[in-house]
Amino acid sequence: MIREMLASTKGVPGMISFAGGFPSPETFPVNILADLFKEVITETGPDTLQYGASEGDNELKDAIIKWDTATQIFPSSRRDEHSPSILQQTGWSTSSTTQITPYALTRDELLICTGATNGIYYFTRALIEPGDVILCEGPTFLGSVVAFEANGAEVIPIDMDRDGIILDQLSDTIKNLRSQKKTIKFLYTIPDFQNPTGITMSIDRRYELIKLMQAEEILILEDDPYKELRYTGERLPSLFEIARSVYNDAQLVTLIKSFSKILGPGLRIAVAMGHPDIIKPMSSWLQKVIVNPEGVTQKVVARFIQKGYLIKHLAFIAQYYTPYNNAITAALEKYMPPSVSFTRPQGGIFVWVSTDSPLNFDALFPEIVAKKVAYIPGSKFYPEGFEKYNCLRLNFSYPTIEQIERGVEVLGKCIVHSA
């Protein structure tokens, strides 16, 4: 359905599309990658063009492990080595008695995948028996719901507020499902600049979610492709890091990080990080399906990290997208009527718009597209049977700043006219 919508709006002269989920091609480090591809083939061709290890290239794993260590929020177990802002931001006060245990990943805790979607599929394939339940945020990333359902899972969404997934509802849903003798296998969450809402889970919610899932013995699959696209505010620790460093739990959370929104989705490189007991069966599924992740690209990404390009490139991307993020927030403030609410993301590429009035953005789609503005109706981000129709997703990484201003103006007028 989303593909059809995108196809019907693509290439139409004058169309302003907020519908896609593509990163801007302006952010792809084309020249550096071109040099690195040449270098890798020239220097290591006979090796990298051969079949490789199913779990992925060790050079890339080592580069990711180093990167992960360098970017941990809790880099040290010594509280006095952390700045007050980090302490405050992490909910870890100086008077807290919490013991912090920084972790270092090992190679057998990593699996290189052909994009995050691929890793999400293997995680699901490894854990799910038909009829098992997967909990997720509602709305959520449709690609994952497709992978969950393809494996026979029942997918149950939990509402979100501005701090992320609502824990009371999550807790009630778990009780309810268990009273029906259902098996809940895991919770899928996108804590940073969520697709489709742009919401970032607050630090307190992260701690509380981990405590709840630990108590309920339900695994977490954390999908974090947007973490590095932060334009304002301070970086928050991943659920993976909190579980390991603060709760000393290496089993609870498996984290999937993709390079799609950093280097380009065409590279198809992501990494799953988790306990070897989970990574191993994921790796067997990967082996059955693709034999091994693509060798040359893995080495290219490894060198991109090792040679220090990644740090500079991330700073460039954040700077690049900031005016787009500001432009969409300003336009929504200017053109939306008071009955409309919208998220104000601190990063990522999406904004979520919803109305108090019972508007149906599926039904309004043809009328608004006829005015040359495209979006994705919110209903498309819910599992079947849970759809909401008074909402929509806007992507701000693809249109120009002028298009953002004009497109939001048209959308605002259509909403006022239809209400």
Strand arrangement, sheet containing 340-342: 340-342, 350-355, 391-395, 376-377
Collect all residues with Cβ–Cβ distance below 8 Å to 119 and sequence separation of at least 6. 111, 113, 256, 270, 271, 272, 282
- Looking at the Cβ atoms of 221 and 336, the one nearer to ligand PLP is 221
* Residue 115 identity: G
Closest distance to ligand PLP from the beta carbon of 136 (Å): 11
Question: Residue 243 Cβ, how far from ligand PLP at the closest point, in Å?
Answer: 19
Bin 291: left if φ > 0, else alpha if -120 < ψ < 50, else beta: left
CB of 293 to ligand PLP, least distance (A): 12
What is the rounded distance in angstroms from the CA atom of residue 209 to the CA atom of residue 239? 9
Q: How far is the CB of 268 from ligand PLP (least distance, A)?
A: 7
Return all residues near 280 (Cβ < 8 A) that are at least 6 apart.
108
* Nearest distance, CB of residue 262 and ligand PLP, angstroms: 10
DSSP structure string for 342-366: E---SBSSEEEEEESS---TTTTHH
Rg of the chain taking only CA atoms, in angstroms = 21
Name residue 312's amino acid: K
Q: How far is the CB of 84 from ligand PLP (least distance, A)?
A: 32
Residue 2 beta carbon to ligand PLP: minimum distance, rounded to whole angstroms: 11
Nearest residue (CB) to ligand PLP, 68 versus 192? 192
Instruction: Please tell me the distance from the alpha carbon of residue 417 to that of residue 419, in angstroms, as a whole number.
Output: 6
Question: 58-71 and 295-306 helices cross at what angle (nearest 10)?
Answer: 40
Residue with smaller CB distance to ligand PLP, 150 or 419: 150
Return the number of the residue (115 or 345) whose C-beta is nearest ligand PLP.
115
Q: Tell me the residue nearest to ligand PLP as measured from the CB.
A: 115
> Which residue type sits at 154?
E
Q: How far is the CB of 257 from ligand PLP (least distance, A)?
A: 9
Q: Measured from the CB atom, is 127 or 190 closer to ligand PLP? A: 190
Closest CB to ligand PLP among residues 54, 117 = 117
Q: Which is nearer to ligand PLP, 213 or 270 (CB)?
A: 270
Distances (CA, A) of 29 to 308, 321, 349: 13, 15, 18
Residue closer to ligand PLP (CB basis): 164 or 412? 164
Nearer to ligand PLP, 21 or 91 (CB): 21
A 10 A CB-CB count for 277 gives 10
Contact between 45 and 37 under an 8 Å Cβ cutoff? The reply is: no
Pairing of the two strands 184-189 and 219-223? parallel
> How far apart are CB 363 and ligand PLP at their closest, in Å?
26
Q: What stretches of 187-269 show up as alpha helix (H) in DSSP?
A: 203-216, 239-245
Binding site for ligand PLP (CB under 6 A): 21, 115-117, 141, 143, 190, 195, 223, 225, 258, 260, 265, 270
